[in-house]
Amino acid sequence: MVLKNMFFEDIGFTYLGPVDGHDIEKLENILELSKKIDGPTLVHVMTKKGKGYEIAEKNPDKFHGTSKFDVETGYPIVGAPLQHTDYSAAFGNKIVELAEKNEKIVAVSAAMKDGTGLTQFAEKFPERFFDIGIAEGHGVRTNCRNG
C-alpha cells in the first residue's frame, strides 16, 4: 500500500506499509516493490517479538537477548555460578539506590526493563518508570519535557 500526504512523503520519502513482517510472502512482495521505487523509501514492517514461541510472546523483554534456556519452560539453563555481578544488575542496583535519594530520577526503557536492569526500579517507582517501546528518542523528548 502506498499512502499519500504523509510525513514521510512530505520530506521526500515513499512510504510503504505497514506490512506483517511474519508473512514472508507479503514481506518479499513489498521489498521487491521498494526496489522499483526511485529515491528514498521507508518500508514499515510490523512484527511481534517472540512470535510463535508462546513463552517469549508473553515475556518479550526477557527473550530479547538471552543465554541458553530450556525451550519447554523458558527458564535459563544454569551452569557454574556467576562470580561477578553483570553490568545490567550493577546499573539496576545503583539507579534504585540513587532514586531513593533523589525523586527527580526517572527511567526510560525501550521495551527491555529486564535486559537493562530496570525491573527493580519499575517495581519500586512505577510513577517514575516509562516503558516507551522501541522509540527511545521520542520517549526521552516526551517524558522529560518538564524536568
In a domain, 62, yes or no: no
Domain extent at residue 123: 87-143
Identify the helix (H) or strand (E) that includes residue 14.
strand 14-20
Domain count, the chain: 1
pLDDT given for residue 139 in this prediction: 58
Identify which of 59-68, 85-94, 121-130 has the greatest average pLDDT. 121-130
Structure pTM? 0.48
Closest of 59, 41, 39 to residue 49, by C-alpha: 59
In a domain, 27, yes or no: no
pLDDT given for residue 33 in this prediction: 95
Place of cell 517514575: 128
Distance CA 93, CA 90 (A): 5
Contact criterion met (CB below 8 Å) for 66 and 60: no
In a domain, 57, yes or no: no
In a domain, 123, yes or no: yes
pLDDT (tens digit per residue) in 131-143? 888 776 655 544 4
pLDDT (tens digit per residue) in 8-64? 888 888 999 999 999 999 999 999 999 999 989 989 999 888 888 898 888 877 776
Contact criterion met (CB below 8 Å) for 15 and 6: yes
